[in-house]
Structure 1
Amino acid sequence: MVATVPRARRSWAGWRFVGPFMAVFALVFLAPIAYSIYLSLFRTQLIGGTAFVGADNYLKALADPLFWSAFGNVAVFLVVQVPIMLFLALLVALAIDSGRLYGASFFRIAVFLPYAVPAVVATLMWAFMYGTRFGLVANLSDLLGVRLPDPLSADLILASLGNVVTWEFVGYNMLILYSALRVVNPSLYEAAEIDGASQFRIIVAIKLPALRGALLIATIFSIIGSFQLFNEPAILKNLAPNAITSSFTPNYYAYTLSFAGQQYNYSATVAIVMGVITMIIAYAVQLRGMRKEV
């Protein structure tokens, strides 16, 4: 007779650990997305009430000039602000990691500290400095006896917002890059110095290749953050009503549609479309980064 091996009992111990997280994840992340998709398939009309319209809201969003104008604003913001922010974060991370910066620990904390400031507080602080009738710009205008450009004008509002976001997130990205530098084997630096490599050569040949993965992560996070731009323009709206319209960014446009226009269904559609676009672009950047690493 052939002895039969008893089947191993399935263990549910792992699910006891991940179960609470999965429940919260489904409740606060998956459920709102599912409900937004459900809302986007309907339209509430004055006559006839709520009716199922299928993909009509999505077709409307894809042909909506206000939506594409908002998307254009965040696209320009992304193309200009993100490279500047990541370049500054890279410089700071390399300076701290060099071991030649006096007070590196204090400098690291000082650069990271703005990230701990809430976005509302940071925006209000910079808004006070941007004011042409009060604050830093007004004081400099009086001191120099000239009329300085208004940072909250339509021509400069994107640059002003970029300055606020850069000030907030340089330290966050610096920490990501600095953490990647700390795991590099010190023997590589020693071997390079023995071979007579300069500090610039060490950065180019050792440090920058080691930072590819961290730079990719920081870039993806920055892309997602740029497309989600909301707090800063929403707070500056009252100070720059002519520069920041109700469709200044996609998120602010969706917020205005929902809470000011009572168009909940179309607001959900705009949010879903923007989420899909963000996911596609972030995924494309990830694929491109992975190909370069291979």
Structure 2
Amino acid sequence: MVAGSHAHGRGIRGRSWLGWQFVGPFMVVFALVFLAPIAYSIYLSLYRTRLIGGTAFVGIENYTKVLQDPQFWAAFGRVAAFLAVQVPIMLFLALLVALAIDSGRLYGAAFFRISVFLPYAVPAVVATLMWGFMYGTQFGLVGNINEAFGASLPDPLSPDLILASIGNIVTWEFVGYNMLIIYSALRVVNPSLYEAAEIDGAGQLRIIWAIKLPALRGALVIATIFSIIGSFQLFNEPSILKTVAPNAITTYFTPNVYAYSLSFEGQQYNYSATVAIVMGVITMVIAYAVQLRGMRKGS
């Protein structure tokens, strides 16, 4: 009996080590490419390099400075306004497309689905360069329209319209991605629910409202969280458009652009790391709050 229990204990320990052998390579890569950079950024944020005295430990002084930095809060306010307008428009369009494809009444649904998703396969740099060229009033599509028709279209790269122009690029890129998330959720709904609703006399709008939208709650929460994270990480589009719209995009246009400018243009690596960490914490808190709110509504 005792020998059997010892053998059983060795078997459990053997299985536990076998599990670690499977997940070990992933944990090593995860630690190197995810945990280590975060730890190093936190380490950098606790120091400051001065012209006189060199690098010195300053504790939370950099964090206090960020929280009082008007340029950081201007950048944060800009991406918050961008998020509040662009994300609902993008998710609404993605929802409409997903519902249209799922309805079975759309001619060429497979072609339409791949066409909407295709912009997501275009790298952000290429998409921004393409749209930046079309936005140009001197060399692009807007300029050609003005010249051909004698029109005077507003400059999409002006300071007043640059955020809306970036929102158009991001929407064009990610409507298809969010559509796929929503459409995948629709495909797992039991078709018998639709049949029962039609037998009871429910129309398509009633089916959407009573069956499809409740089934999409989890997918919409996921898409919203991804979109929030993406909005707060906004970097590629403004940094590329800065070359053609230098007067509209400042060094603190978004928090990521601000952190990049501090690090690579101002050589303020410690403060740049602090800005990145503060922005990461804010993003994490807001995304977690959205998730909790979505789960409460789901329950």
1:76 aligns with 2:81: yes
- Give, in whole Å, the separation in 2 of the partners of 1:150 and 1:3: 83
Q: Which residue of 2 aligns with 1:170?
A: 175
Deviation by residue 1:3-52 (Cα, 9 ceiling, x = unmatched): 97324221212112211111111100000000000000000000000000
Amino acid at match of 2:9: A
1:186 aligns with 2:191: yes
- Give, in whole Å, the separation in 2 of the partners of 1:41 and 1:205: 53
Task: Pick from 107, 114, 117 the counterpart of residue 119 of structure 2.
Answer: 114
Alignment of 1:139-178 (within 5 A): 139-178=144-183
Task: Pick from 44, 53, 60 the counterpart of residue 48 of structure 1.
Answer: 53
Deviation by residue 1:69-118 (Cα, 9 ceiling, x = unmatched): 00011000000000000000000000000000000001000000000000
Q: Normalized per residue, which structure has more helix? A: 2
- Give, in whole Å, the separation in 2 of the partners of 1:64 and 1:209: 42
1:203 aligns with 2:208: yes
Q: Secondary structure at the match of 1:152?
A: coil
- Give, in whole Å, the separation in 2 of the partners of 1:128 and 1:24: 39
Return the offset for 1:146.
2.2
Q: Secondary structure at the match of 1:37?
A: helix
Task: Pick from 123, 132, 150 the counterpart of residue 128 of structure 2.
Answer: 123
Return the offset for 1:142.
1.3
Q: Which residue of 2 aligns with 1:264?
A: 269
Q: Which residue of 2 aligns with 1:8?
A: 9
Alignment of 1:212-227 (within 5 A): 212-227=217-232
Amino acid at match of 1:64: D
Deviation by residue 1:145-201 (Cα, 9 ceiling, x = unmatched): 122110000000010000000000000000000000000000000000111100000
- Give, in whole Å, the separation in 2 of the partners of 1:230 and 1:276: 17
Q: Which residue of 2 aligns with 1:89?
A: 94
Q: Which residue of 2 aligns with 1:236?
A: 241
Return the offset for 1:127.
0.3
Q: Which residue of 2 aligns with 1:273?
A: 278
1:66 aligns with 2:67: no
Change (3 A) 1:3 1:100: same
Segments of structure 1 that go 5 or more residues without pairing to the other structure are none
Q: Percent identity?
A: 82
How many pairs were matched up? 294
- Give, in whole Å, the separation in 2 of the partners of 1:4 and 1:208: 56
Segments of structure 2 that go 5 or more residues without pairing to the other structure are none
